[in-house]
Copies of this chain bind each other. A is one copy, B any other.
Amino acid sequence: LTDVGLGEFGRIARFFAPLARSLPGAFGLTDDGAVLDLGPGRRLVVTTDALVAGVHFVGDEPAGDVARKALRVNLSDLAAMGAEPVAYSLVTALPTSVDDGWVAGFADGLAADQAEFGILLSGGDSVATPGPITISITAMGAVGEAWLSRSGARVDDLVCVSGTIGDGALGLDVLRGRLALDSVDAAFLVDRYRRPRPRHRLGPALVGVASACIDISDGLLADLGHLAQASGVGARVWVDRLPLSPAAAAARERMAAFVDTRALAGGDDYELLFTVDPANRDKVLAIARALEVAVTEIGKVVVGAGVRAVAGDGTDVTPLSTGWRHG
């Protein structure tokens, strides 16, 4: 394997070591590992997600967007556990065709997100591959004595969701030429696909308030299904209540069924989907106001198993395929 640029050690020193500078226990990425002190009474929360070019991202995105998506899907998992971000370990497996400029842009994207989400690089590995660009991140966060799980939902709890739903999947539709919209709406949706907004402040704020939580990566109904199964309950979602962005609402005026299916079964939203005892409704609203995050009540937890989407007239409108699977 030849490399006419900085080489892997050079890239680590030049592009990645600065991302670890503020973390004393990362030792400038020069030791065998990092040492992290979570503080007294804190537990570690750890989550890992990998992205492969051509499978999890299109492949021609700006390098900084690839970096940010890789980091943000992990930050979204930390948020779903109610954990505050601490540090992350990064593996880049890059073909030799990837030049130092791409790596520089990749590191710039990470630097921007580190500042936005309060997380620092602790270490990782940088390897060559004859295959496609593959990025793997293990994100570490911290919680106290309590955190959010998928398994605490109880019958009659409210089902709530943050932000708007369906934008990520619709953004991918725009990129793949399956959906034509005016340029402002199209750009908004593509940005939502490429740069999901992990709810890193909402998640920790919901600890002790929400009864169960998951982030929406596979699709609203699929992930609600995971939560319901873990909790031993069923759930209903009212389609008329789904929060849509103005861009998704504009698309829905022409293609209502298509957009509803994307909102219910599309993936890549990275919003938080959580259940809450009705007695805690006001607490949730206060948290949403304080954090300036939209939270919408979209359904309820019921006795039994499985999830169903219900229209305003009571019709069952659950899509046959309720979620997607990446490769």
Q: What is the count of identical protomers in the complex?
A: 2
Which residues of chain B have C-beta atoms less than 8 A from A141's C-beta? 33
Q: Does A211 have its Cβ within 8 Å of any Cβ on chain B?
A: no
- Sorting the interface of chain A by its residue count into under 10, 10 to 19, 20 to 34 or 35 or more gives 35 or more
Q: Is the CB of B33 within 8 A of A125?
A: no
- The minimal Cβ–Cβ distance linking A126 to chain B, given in whole angstroms, is 8
Q: Is the CB of B150 within 8 A of A31?
A: yes
Residue-by-residue, is A138-162 near B (CB-CB < 8 Å gives 1, otherwise 0)?
Answer: 1011010001011100000000000
Q: Is the CB of B93 within 8 A of A150?
A: no
Q: A130 to B38, alpha carbons, bound, how many Å?
A: 38
Q: Is the CB of B43 within 8 A of A125?
A: no
Q: Does A80 have its Cβ within 8 Å of any Cβ on chain B?
A: yes
Q: Does A30 have its Cβ within 8 Å of any Cβ on chain B?
A: yes
- The minimal Cβ–Cβ distance linking A282 to chain B, given in whole angstroms, is 26
Among the listed B36, B128, B131, B214, which residue makes an inter-chain contact with A44, where contact means beta carbons less than 8 Å apart?
A: B36
Q: Does A245 have its Cβ within 8 Å of any Cβ on chain B?
A: no
Q: A46 to B149, alpha carbons, bound, how many Å?
A: 24
Q: Is the CB of A50 within 8 A of B93?
A: yes
Stretch among A51-59, A98-106, A250-258 lining the B interface: A51-59
- The minimal Cβ–Cβ distance linking A140 to chain B, given in whole angstroms, is 7
Q: Does A123 have its Cβ within 8 Å of any Cβ on chain B?
A: yes
Chain A residues numbered 54-85 whose CB sits less than 8 Å from any CB in chain B: 54-56, 77-78, 80-81, 83
Which residues of chain B have C-beta atoms less than 8 A from A45's C-beta? 33-36
Q: Is the CB of B150 within 8 A of A47?
A: no
Q: Is the CB of B8 within 8 A of A325?
A: yes
- The minimal Cβ–Cβ distance linking A159 to chain B, given in whole angstroms, is 17
Q: Is the CB of A91 within 8 A of B54?
A: no
Q: Is the CB of A30 within 8 A of B127?
A: no
Q: A143 to B151, alpha carbons, bound, how many Å?
A: 32
A-B complex: 7 closest residue pairs judged by Cβ atoms: A131-B131, A33-B47, A128-B327, A138-B138, A32-B77, A32-B80, A1-B327
Residues of A within 8 A of B (CB): 1, 7-9, 25, 27, 30-38, 40, 43-52, 54-56, 77-78, 80-81, 83, 87, 89-91, 93, 122-125, 127-132, 134, 136, 138, 140-141, 143, 147, 149-151, 214-215, 226, 230, 325-327
Show 18 A/B contacts (Cβ-Cβ < 8 Å), sorted by A.
Answer: A31-B149, A32-B47, A32-B215, A33-B46, A33-B80, A34-B46, A35-B43, A36-B46, A38-B44, A40-B40, A46-B140, A48-B123, A49-B125, A54-B130, A56-B127, A129-B132, A130-B131, A136-B136
